[in-house]
Amino acid sequence: MKQKYLECGKAVSTHGIRGTLRLESYCDTPETLAKLRTLYIKNRAGEFVPMRVRAASVQKNMVLVSFHDLDTVEQAIPFKGTVFFCDREDIKLKKGGVFVADIIGLDVIDEESGEKTGTLSEVISPAGREIYVVEDVNGGTFMIPVVGEFIKRIVPEGEGAGIYVRLIEGMRETR
């Protein structure tokens, strides 16, 4: 079952004296996070608590967010380190787009042979490029850059679910 709430950012510091938080974006772009009007935090009971966004803007790949009912730096400081969530329905995916949370754990399958090569364990984004980290069926891990040359199609659910790839020689060498 798909998760209703998805991690979308983390408060790394405060900004100014009026309770603004500086968020590292987990979205495909910081602009996506800045467009959200409600973010959620998880309380100790594991329930998602809405926080209404008063204003948000992008500054150097970070998102500055001020919330209603959060007016001073003293009120904002306890949120430092907090992971924020969004309702998946509040983000419009591009055609063919998927949420990372929906593909973690999918089988990685060779497009030509149909052979399972591994399982997607993580998506990393060094220098703004996505890379899939795959747990190889033979042990170890290998990485696949997320480009059309290697990622042929993604079927996130149902029969035939998986990430279909075309790998080049040496790409599957594990570490």
Confidence (pLDDT) at 175 = 65
Mean predicted lDDT score pLDDT of the chain? 93
Which H helix or E strand runs over 12? strand 5-15
Residues of the chain with CATH 2.40.30.60: 5-90
Residues of the chain with CATH 2.30.30.240: 100-165
Which positions ≥6 away from 40 have C-beta within 8 Å? 5, 48, 49, 50, 51, 84, 85, 86, 87
Q: What is the CATH number of domain 5-90?
A: 2.40.30.60
Neighbouring CB atoms inside 10 A of 88's CB total 16
Q: Work out the average pLDDT over 83-91.
A: 96
Confidence (pLDDT) at 174 = 66
pLDDT at 79 over 80: yes
CATH topology of domain 100-165: SH3 type barrels. (2.30.30)
Q: Long-range pairs for 143-148 at CB < 8 Å and ≥24 separation?
A: 144/108, 144/171
- Judged by DSSP in three states, 173 sits in coil
